[in-house]
Structure 1
Amino acid sequence: MTPNPADQAVIADFHALSGFGETERGGVQREAGTEPDGGQRAWLTQWLSSRGFTVEFDQIGNQFGMLELVPGAPYVLVGSHLDSQPRGGRYDGAYGVLAAAHAANRLAGLWRDAGRTPQYNLAVVNWFNEEGSRFQPSMMGSSVYTGKLDAETALATRDLAGVTVREALEDTGCLGSGRGPEAACYAEIHIEQGRILDEEDTTIGLVESTWAANKYHLVVHGEQSHTGSTVMADRQDAMLGAAHLVVAAREIADAFTETPLHTSVGQMLIHPNSPVVVAREVRLHLDLRSADENVLAEADAMLHERFPEIEKKARVRIEKATAHSWGVLSYNPDGVKLARSAAEDLGLSHRHMMTIAGHDSTNMKDIVPTVMLFVPSVDGISHNEKEFTKDEDICAGVDLLTEVVSRLADGDLTG
């Protein structure tokens, strides 16, 4: 069946957006504050401005396309993020921003044609540095917006090359001022990044809560020496200690067979990283995640119990540099009901579910009523160039988001 013009416009714009930072294997590489990120932000500015939205950047580079219909009223914010992981997928985050833009533009036309005014204003948002691959922490832009992270601290954060967030935003012309528009509520749609919806042939996920997580920056301290001449018994190899931590994280995950536990070591920085030097220091990022807070606590204790054993075996010292954690956190139950009602009215199959990954909505739900929606990810692939969501699911998600945002703008969730 031939897509309708509205759906065709969504797909065409998605392909245009996917050209920024496109990789040869069909993914994208546009980390926060890089040239491709600046290019796509300029594209979004033009897209929104040409349709009557006023575009501004705030003090941390969050991009807002605002439609003021009720002077002085707060805004329904709707969006996600455009930045990607290195050699990441086209859909992660970017789909949510584009879906928000199309939903907002559709509603602007409908309201104009009907000659009516909603209760709240409307703003599309592209959050800065959700991925956290170049600058840490992740979800930086929404953390500053929600007051969880100081703006000056965030702006002073450096990447591995020593470039600050402030410098990156200035280079891309995306450093603004102020705190952005006042939010009345928030909505976000995202690819699932898992395989539940795809395997169940369900179109929409209604997110009702997060998984719990503990994230650690660990530093393994050893002693630098010669890889050839230093006898094995004398070595204090930080890489060996780090390797034991990687294995320990997986072994702990494998110990939980009834309730899932996800563990990983996603980043490792080695010093001096020379082929003929035993490493003196390794910095790594290790995280534990579970839908059950008791399982997470048990796994966390198991991890810390392994530290002395690893230190003795590798003759190293393990330092816990920083830690970030959260429990199982619920989304607004009335928001879930609102989204479910909208999905039923549109005839879209749906199910309640949790989100394992973090999203900007996990920050926003702590300050305003928030609705989080998923569409399927084929085979559950994400943070990978093979990431894929079917066009019909993309378009169905935009239809649902439009209906949800319409109800939010009319005050159905906030009264």
Structure 2
Amino acid sequence: GSKAMRGELTLQDLHRLVDKQGVSLYDALKEHNLNPDAIEHMEYKRPVKSFTEIHIEQGKVLEHEAKPIGVVTGIAAPERFYVTIRGNADHSGATPMNLRHDALCGASKIILGIEEIASMQEEPPVVGTVGVVEVTPGAMNVIPGAVKMGVDIRSISKVARDSVVTLIKEFIDVIAEKRGLSYTIEPVAQDHPVVMNPAMIREIEEAVQSVGIDYMTMPSGAGHDAMHWADDVPTGMIFIPCRDGISHNPAEFADMDHIVTGAKVLDTVLRKLSLESTKLD
């Protein structure tokens, strides 16, 4: 939604992005009686004074620190891509170990390599995740012939993230060559990390203090709508805790007291920002 409002989502993107069943975003929108063909005319062009977002943290920091509010200082952004490793789907009993080109074994090496490479980048930190692994043909008596992996690399620093992505791609090439495998890399997304506007951070901190709530400043490891506005509009963000840091999951939960506290802070911020006398220069 925010990408479309900013004019950053194209018709080509809607056809390119598909779910696990192969349904494109374009077709999904069509099925819900929407008009995806008009996506490139959806950019919001009216003047915007500021953009303020409130969200659960999607992590465990606030809960661990017993802070009811987080004032976000910046948002890490992901680079995402699919890696497909291809070997030979030979019979598991008839193929000796020295004649195998096992795509899953190669993928396993790569997954561990991604973890190690991301861990080596400590300041600023980078996190690397392989959250999707699809093995073909998926039979116990057949050596895996292909593996598709979904890779997510994030950092608050684009330079650090790009460096890790480069190292990972070099590592994939080394492993593939060593094991007699082939591979392809399919880009999915390459968002830009952003920092929150200093004046907006100040306004949110003052709002939190005015309602007598304890808080902490912190970066966001997850992406948010705010990141698509921050380059052009003074942008700020408020976090509330979520139980065990769980999100995008049926177990996601935020305490009602924290929700009410967040709403009070948001209300205070928006009332102040709505005043003509409030300047964000």
- Pick the TM interval, shorter chain: 0.7 to 0.9
Partner of 1:285: 150
Residues 407 and 413, structure 1, Cα contact 8 Å, conserved in 2: no
- Please, what TM-score do these two structures have when normalized by structure 2? 0.84
Given candidates 337, 347, 368, the residue that maps to 2:233 is: 368
Partner of 1:101: none
Match status 1:386 vs 2:268: no
Partner of 2:113: 248
- Please, what TM-score do these two structures have when normalized by structure 1? 0.59
Q: Deviations over 1:294-343 (max 9, x none)?
A: 65455344423422431144321232222644554212111111111211
Amino acid of the structure 2 residue aligned with 1:395: V
Partner of 1:163: 23
Point out 4+ residue stretches in structure 1 off by more than 6 angstroms: none
Residues 369 and 413, structure 1, Cα contact 8 Å, conserved in 2: no
Match status 1:179 vs 2:39: no
| In 1: Cα distance, 2:225 partner to 2:77 partner | 16
* TM-aligned CA distance change 1:153 to 1:251, over 3 Å: closer
Amino acid of the structure 2 residue aligned with 1:336: I
Given candidates 395, 402, 410, the residue that maps to 2:260 is: 395
Match status 1:339 vs 2:207: no
Residues 156 and 164, structure 1, Cα contact 8 Å, conserved in 2: yes
Residues 81 and 187, structure 2, Cα contact 8 Å, conserved in 1: yes
How far is the alpha carbon of 1:208 from its aligned partner?
1.5
Gaps in structure 2 of 5+ consecutive residues: none
Residues 4 and 43, structure 2, Cα contact 8 Å, conserved in 1: no
* TM-aligned CA distance change 1:280 to 1:335, over 3 Å: same
* TM-aligned CA distance change 1:216 to 1:162, over 3 Å: closer
Given candidates 81, 84, 99, the residue that maps to 1:219 is: 84
* TM-aligned CA distance change 1:155 to 1:301, over 3 Å: closer
Partner of 1:145: 5
Match status 1:349 vs 2:214: yes
Residues 103 and 144, structure 2, Cα contact 8 Å, conserved in 1: yes
| In 1: Cα distance, 2:16 partner to 2:105 partner | 33
Task: Give the alignment's Cα RMSD to 1 decimal.
Answer: 2.8
* TM-aligned CA distance change 1:155 to 1:395, over 3 Å: farther
How far is the alpha carbon of 1:259 from its aligned partner?
5.5
Q: Deviations over 1:150-205 (max 9, x none)?
A: 13531564323232323322333444755265361322111111222112221211
Moved more, 386-395 or 296-305: 296-305
Match status 1:309 vs 2:174: yes
| In 1: Cα distance, 2:11 partner to 2:188 partner | 20
Amino acid of the structure 2 residue aligned with 1:365: A
Moved more, 337-346 or 151-160: 151-160
> May I ask how many residue pairs the two structures share in their alignment?
275
Residues 6 and 43, structure 2, Cα contact 8 Å, conserved in 1: no
Residues 187 and 371, structure 1, Cα contact 8 Å, conserved in 2: yes
| In 2: Cα distance, 1:252 partner to 1:372 partner | 30
Moved more, 205-214 or 168-177: 168-177
Gaps in structure 1 of 5+ consecutive residues: 1-140
Q: Relative CO higher for 1 or 2, CA cutoff 8 Å, sep ≥ 6?
A: 2
Amino acid of the structure 1 residue aligned with 2:109: H
